[in-house]
Structure 1
Amino acid sequence: MSEPARLELSAMGAVRPPAGAAVAAAQRREQQGFDAVWWADHLLHWFPDSIWTPDLVPQAAAGQTSPHVWFDPVPVIAAVAGATREMRLGIGVTDMVRRHPASLAQTALTLDHLTGGRFVLGVGSGEALNLTPFGMTNERPLSRLEEGIEVMRLLMEADGPVDHRGEHFRLEGASLGLGPVGDAPPPIWVAAHRPRGLGAVGRLADGWLPLATDPGDYGAMLDRVRAAAAAAGRDRDAVVPGLYARVVVAETREDALAAIDGSLLLRFIALTRSAEAFAAHGAEHPLGSGAFGLTTFLPTTLGREDALRLARAVPDAVVRDTVIHGTPDDVAATVLRFVDRGARHVQLTNMTPMADPGRAATSEALLADTVAALRTGAATPE
């Protein structure tokens, strides 16, 4: 009997100054045994400027004057490449509205060389908060994502000039002379949750990185991915099943719940969830029926009164369900339920410092305990 596949664990990279600390954080993750670090590609955050005041947000009281402080992940990965040795480094995720697929393909190949073949590119259909305030439109986002991946692969795999005429992109005698550092271009992972997006993952992606908090829902989505892969003539297991897991970890379950329930910022994170996630708790999404806040929520349009009204409208049960929470053993046990449903790569994104900055240092130690628990029990999920 073959041994079970090793569970890969990754973390979110530091995205704010100082730059040296961001590089050091990645080095620490490698020393802790993480297999990869992913950097988000944002221009804005999920928090309205109108609520970012010292009386409401501890981070503002501590001197962070804006919620929208983000490094560009590309130069950060280039810097981290020289300071790490084996850990994979990824963008998780960007879009092909801000970054044209030809330019993104060149960037991916460049980082492939700088990292010695350790770069992973994550893409998604795009989020309104990174586009609309900057005058960018995203018509037919899933169609654009699918075609953009096809264009990237065409450019990265072609031996010479290529042509392409699609709905969103056109190439005429286009060529990227830069090849990959190894035998194949960098892997492309896709963040998707709805049926059409899951179909695109199965047909086109090397890996899948969804947000999920319910193992049953995750398993149903993975079944769609595998069915789409098989229908496209690929192996059913051609796509690495990943999971983007938001985590609040504390010494006791009660401490974790106290951090969650007392966090205004986590209420805005909860607004990025789907209408179905609210309906599961008998509630309607405050942004309206059918809302999927991850792609449509625009926090910059909200004045203080409206923002707080929306935050108050999020049920406590939905906020708690937005993150995997509890002690290290609790979090590990929940993650292993996803492993039981097929997950093979889990990004543990520590949201505890966002929920309660006073728990930041403690949560880092507890996250290491979570990793140890997962390494011990990865082959025997509960």
Structure 2
Amino acid sequence: MNSPVRTGVLLPIGRAQWGEGTDPRGLVGFGVRAERLGYDSLWVNDSLIEPRIESLAMLSALTPVTSRVTLGTAALMPVLRRPVQTAQALASLDLLSGGRLTVTVGAGFPGRLGRPLHALSEVPWERRFARLDETVALWRKLWTAEGPTSFHGEVLRFDDIPRTTPVFRPGGPDIWLGGNTPAARARTGRLYDGWLPYPPDPADYATGLAEVREAAKQAGRDPAGLSSALFVSVLLADTPAEGRRGLEAYSRANYKMELDQLETIQALTAGPPEHVVAYLRRYVDAGARHLVIRIGALDLATQTEQLERLAELLPQLRGCA
């Protein structure tokens, strides 16, 4: 499965990443610059807790000013949104982008990043995984229905839904799952088009991908047809120690936790280019074929500088497979 390695970048749509006093309209230019530098994809994440540009609004702004890159969510939390209206919004993005949309979804996190979001959205925390899977199934049904339709799941039930906005591609955009629990890996193989986790150990990525593919095989699906991606935080620096200090500040600003704790949860690397490439190559060797890079910087100027420096590594990363 030595398919080419693709590399994308997460736009810093949270105010903690673009920096106080910076005009967030510069994020559009950031995305345009990334496409011109040769990145394969642009991604946005999703939250209601902190000040940020809403994820689908950001992708809408990028749609008319880009022409080649995949536009993706990493990850969207559909359970916080009205499912029928979200199906229409995603279909519209897919249509207006010429079929360049990929939708990674997740069910949220416990603690301050989970239950408060559900409370604000008036959605029960219980059965969130079933709600997520049924939301995706509903989207796919709406995107393929020839006329008014109904949907009867265990959590979601709708009758007489009018036909929604058509999608650009038959069946609609690919939908990936961002979870990395055993249950999430099994659900990815059975129900989704790709996998976008962030395990801190490449060996765990390899084991997890094998589980995803086995679940797909057991469900009668082609394992080779599933996309294998990695979400990873990166910061280029002259030395690993300098890079680590930068990621420490990033971790505290974004997660309110120490880097020692974050690195037990997420894939992240910092240091000179050769150090970063060697780290990412281990995940490529484990099977990752789409690298979604989150730049660990706290203002748009540094994000852009890092974007330029990382672009110089794209040929090496594409040659890792």
Query: Do they superpose with TM above 0.5?
Result: yes
Counterpart of 1:379? 319
Matches within 5 A, 1:25-44: 25-44=30-49
**Structure 1 residues 140, 237: CA separation in 2 closer, same or farther (over 3 Å shift)?**
same
Aligned with residue 145 of structure 2, among 158, 170, 175: 158
Instruction: Give the Cα separation in 1 of the matches to 2:204 and 2:138.
Output: 31
Q: Helix, strand or coil for the counterpart of 1:212? A: coil
Counterpart of 1:56? none
Instruction: Give the Cα separation in 2 of the matches to 1:343 and 1:208.
Output: 9
Aligned with residue 277 of structure 2, among 332, 353, 375: 332
Matches within 5 A, 1:258-277: 258-261=245-248, 263=249, 266-267=251-252
Instruction: Give the Cα separation in 2 of the matches to 1:362 and 1:164.
Output: 47
Instruction: Please state if 1:318 is matched with 2:258.
Output: no
Instruction: Give the Cα separation in 2 of the matches to 1:380 and 1:183.
Output: 32
Aligned with residue 287 of structure 2, among 300, 320, 342: 342
Task: Give a deviation string over 1:169-193, Cα, whole Å, max 9, x none.
Answer: 1121224242222334111121111
CA RMSD in angstroms comes to 2.4
Alpha-carbon offset, residue 219 of structure 1: 0.9
Counterpart of 1:89? 71
Q: Helix, strand or coil for the counterpart of 2:71? A: strand
Q: Helix, strand or coil for the counterpart of 1:245? A: strand
Instruction: Give the Cα separation in 2 of the matches to 1:213 and 1:165.
Output: 38
Counterpart of 1:69? 51
Q: Is the 8 A contact 2:79 2:135 kept in 1?
A: no
Instruction: Give the Cα separation in 2 of the matches to 1:334 and 1:99.
Output: 36
Q: Helix, strand or coil for the counterpart of 1:244? A: strand
Counterpart of 2:182? 195
Aligned with residue 205 of structure 1, among 189, 192, 207: 192
Alpha-carbon offset, residue 250 of structure 1: 0.8
Q: Is the 8 A contact 1:267 1:319 kept in 2?
A: no
Which amino acid counterpart does residue 129 of structure 2 have in structure 1?
L
Which amino acid counterpart does residue 106 of structure 2 have in structure 1?
G
Q: How does the TM-score come out when normalised to structure 2? A: 0.87
**Structure 2: gaps spanning 5 or more residues:** 16-21
Alpha-carbon offset, residue 350 of structure 1: 0.4
Q: Is the 8 A contact 2:42 2:71 kept in 1?
A: yes
Q: Is the 8 A contact 1:328 1:373 kept in 2?
A: yes
Alpha-carbon offset, residue 8 of structure 1: 0.8
Report the count of equivalent residues.
Answer: 307
Higher relative contact order (CA 8 A, sep 6+): 2
Task: Give a deviation string over 1:81-100, Cα, whole Å, max 9, x none.
Answer: 11111111122222232213
Counterpart of 1:224? 211
Counterpart of 1:6? 4
Q: Is the 8 A contact 2:200 2:263 kept in 1?
A: no
Alpha-carbon offset, residue 319 of structure 1: 4.3
**Structure 1 residues 69, 377: CA separation in 2 closer, same or farther (over 3 Å shift)?**
closer
- Quick check: 21-30 or 205-214, which moved more? 205-214
Alpha-carbon offset, residue 362 of structure 1: 5.6
Instruction: Give the Cα separation in 2 of the matches to 1:270 and 1:213.
Output: 16
Instruction: Give the Cα separation in 2 of the matches to 1:185 and 1:143.
Output: 21
Q: Is the 8 A contact 1:122 1:189 kept in 2?
A: yes
Which amino acid counterpart does residue 376 of structure 1 have in structure 2?
Q
Instruction: Please state if 1:137 is matched with 2:124.
Output: yes
Q: Is the 8 A contact 1:244 1:348 kept in 2?
A: yes
**Structure 1 residues 97, 122: CA separation in 2 closer, same or farther (over 3 Å shift)?**
same
Instruction: Give the Cα separation in 1 of the matches to 2:147 and 2:34.
Output: 39
Q: Which runs of 4+ in 1 moved over 6 A?
A: none
Q: Is the 8 A contact 1:336 1:378 kept in 2?
A: no
Alpha-carbon offset, residue 72 of structure 1: 1.2
Instruction: Please state if 1:178 is matched with 2:165.
Output: yes
Instruction: Give the Cα separation in 2 of the matches to 1:148 and 1:135.
Output: 16
Instruction: Give the Cα separation in 2 of the matches to 1:39 and 1:246.
Output: 14
**Structure 1 residues 368, 362: CA separation in 2 closer, same or farther (over 3 Å shift)?**
same
Larger Rg: 1
